[in-house]
Amino acid sequence: MSESRVLAAWRALWESCPHATGFQSPAFVLAWYETYKSVYQPVVAWSMSESGELLGLWLLSFHPARRELVHAGAHQAEYHVWLALPASGAVFLESAWARLQQELPFKTLRFKYLPAASLVDTLRAVAGMENRIAFRVRTRALAKLDAAEIKASFAKKSNKSRFNRLKRLGALEFRRLTGLEDFEQVFDDLVAFYDFRQGAVNRTTPFRDDPLKRMFCKTLFRTAPHETHLTVTFLGGRAIAAHWGTVSGTTTLHVGMTAYSPLLAEHSPGKLHIMQLSDYLLKDGMEVLDLTPGGDPWKERFANSQDQVAEVLLYRSAFARIRDDALERMLEGSKRRAAKVGVQPADIRRMVVTLRRARPSAVLRKVSRWAHEKCEVRVYRGNRDVATRVGHDARIAANSLADLLCFEPGESWQSRDAFLSSALARLERGESVYTICLDGRLAHYEWIAPRLTESFITEVQQRIALPAGSVALYDAYTHPDFRGRGLFRRALRHTLREAFAIGTTQYAYITAVADNLASRHLIESLGFEYQGSLYLKRRLGMESKWADPVFEKKEAPHA
């Protein structure tokens, strides 16, 4: 059979199969096969009638090194399922499953989600599968597009206020992208938004961790215009929010990647984008926005309906399924017993992570600080005069998510997860970060916190009041591999200039630990004036804190 006839038969079966999704379409699967051919070997099981009609199709892939069998698309396909008409599904699956076990040395086959929980019954009816299935039914949140609900959402005072605040910052535009040139112009920003938030919240950076993912998205965008759906919100011509999803049939869009700038978090650009997307889809004749399974709070806010899907794991061996079931029951029992004494799974995970990261030197330092520690932090202040002595440095980036994603721990006390999580929280509070990236690595960073009335000094666990119009320059750090190159001086001079570029800034505050003579010398050489010190003393776990008189006053110090 010619390639064109195979594709035509595939498309005909996909269009007629009642449980097919966009993730089994020829365009989606072929794009994934082509992109990941260096990693996965395509595996296709099919059944044809005597007349040449395609009766069943199971689109899979095999990873030889891991001896792993997966569905085409793997984790990038939200729904995994075979293609067949209901009358021939069980017969096709029985023969296909037997052949797969004969030909390939895999242990399990995972369905990320079956698009309908009722399809589990089809699998359980297949001879040879009935004792090899483990599954869990999951609730799927749906937004059935309703003109009245959408109109009411746009009419809410809070949402109208958010739109108006954004419009005051620049021209606001929502549109669907279909041209490859538009894709190329915005996709780097969208990848940075997505990876940064995923790294901060879920401890994974999908595009950074998978070098082929970007090419897959580009190929899919180019070759599957009907199944791929990319919409972007622009502010002043720059992308600030986006959604990438997959279309099934003519009525349903599955939520895929949602991305938005953390720099505008106070305006809820992600929420506003989904609102505009819902309105756009309704006008385009769509009926359902599939919010996909998962307990994300934002999905519940948009959902007005739900149904059920299923996670499924097929075992090659019935014994392996029985063994895993027993282990799962033991684990659940342990969780229940731990919960009775107030220990939650998240507490255990944190403890395990901490123990894994613990190094003898770090433990000794903590013990030493617990036994005896004395710390003095010196507080400095600069006014607008100091900003006239420094210049702009084009090599330093402001609020670059791409730079932050290049962070690598340089000390035993650092972790990538904690760094990204903290950076996200700071950016969403309106703080700014200035970075220097060298050789694809984050070499130096430092932060500005604007419009402060007080500042918390971590080293001594004390707060100080600040006069109106103050900003704090803090948390400057150079990776050990890049020290001795003058990066701190270069970045501090630049950051100081940026701080006073804010029209309301009157004072810039910065601190230095007293025994860090190099930092003190640099700060003083730039014209900062010493204001006073704060102190912490610890002995055998007992702490005492005090401050110089200037900081003991209730009112902030003035010039």
419-443 average pLDDT score:
96
**pLDDT recorded at residue 170:** 97
**pLDDT recorded at residue 344:** 59
Each residue's pLDDT tens digit, 473-510? 999 999 999 999 999 999 999 999 899 988 889 999 99
- Give buried/exposed letters for 227-256 (b at 16+ CB in 10 A, else e): bbbbbbbbbeeebbbbbbbbbbeeebbbbb
Q: Name which of 432, 381, 423 is nearest 404 in CA terms.
A: 423
264-292 average pLDDT score:
97
Say if 3-141 and 146-286 have the same CATH topology: yes
**pLDDT recorded at residue 333:** 63
172-180 average pLDDT score:
97
Total-model pTM: 0.88
Helices 180-202/416-428 angle, 10° precision: 110
**pLDDT recorded at residue 270:** 96
60-79 average pLDDT score:
97
**pLDDT recorded at residue 557:** 47
Each residue's pLDDT tens digit, 259-275? 999 999 999 999 999 99
pLDDT band at 380 (very low <50, low <70, confident <90, very high): very high
pLDDT band at 556 (very low <50, low <70, confident <90, very high): very low
108-121 average pLDDT score:
97
**Domain-by-domain residue ranges, the chain?**
3-141, 146-286, 317-357, 367-552
- Ranking 55-59, 269-273, 411-415 by mean pLDDT, the lowest is 411-415
Residue appearing with tokens 């919100």 = 233
117-125 average pLDDT score:
94
Q: What superfamily does domain 146-286 belong to in CATH?
A: Gcn5-related N-acetyltransferase (GNAT) (3.40.630.30)
Q: Which two tokens stand for residue 32?
A: 């994934």
Strand partners, 510: 380, 473
Residue 55 contacts residue 47 (beta carbons within 8 Å): yes
With 0-12 CB in 10 A as exposed, 13-18 as middle and 19+ as buried, what is 82? buried
Reduce the secondary structure of 363-427 to three states and give it as a string. Answer: HHHHHHHHHEEEEEEEEEEECHHHHCCCCCCCCCEECCHHHHCCCCCCCCCCCHHHHHHHHHHHH
**pLDDT recorded at residue 243:** 98
In the predicted structure, residue 7 carries a pLDDT above the cut 80 = yes
**pLDDT recorded at residue 363:** 46
**pLDDT recorded at residue 136:** 95
Each residue's pLDDT tens digit, 224-234? 988 999 999 99
In the predicted structure, residue 339 carries a pLDDT above the cut 80 = no
Contacts of residue 114, Cβ cutoff 8 Å, sequence gap at least 6: 19, 79, 80, 81, 120, 309, 310, 311, 312
In the predicted structure, residue 559 carries a pLDDT above the cut 50 = no
With 0-12 CB in 10 A as exposed, 13-18 as middle and 19+ as buried, what is 280? middle
In the predicted structure, residue 81 carries a pLDDT above the cut 90 = yes
Q: What angle do CA 279, 11, 312 make, to 5 degrees?
A: 75
Each residue's pLDDT tens digit, 340-359? 666 555 555 555 445 445 55
**pLDDT recorded at residue 215:** 97
- Ranking 141-145, 213-217, 238-242, 319-323 by mean pLDDT, the lowest is 319-323
Q: Helix, strand, or coil here: 301?
A: helix
* Average pLDDT across the chain, whole number: 90
**pLDDT recorded at residue 542:** 86
CATH T-level fold of 3-141: Aminopeptidase (3.40.630)
With 0-12 CB in 10 A as exposed, 13-18 as middle and 19+ as buried, what is 491? buried
In the predicted structure, residue 395 carries a pLDDT above the cut 90 = no
CATH T-level fold of 367-552: Aminopeptidase (3.40.630)
61-84 average pLDDT score:
97
- With a pLDDT cut of 70, the percent of the chain lying above it is 90
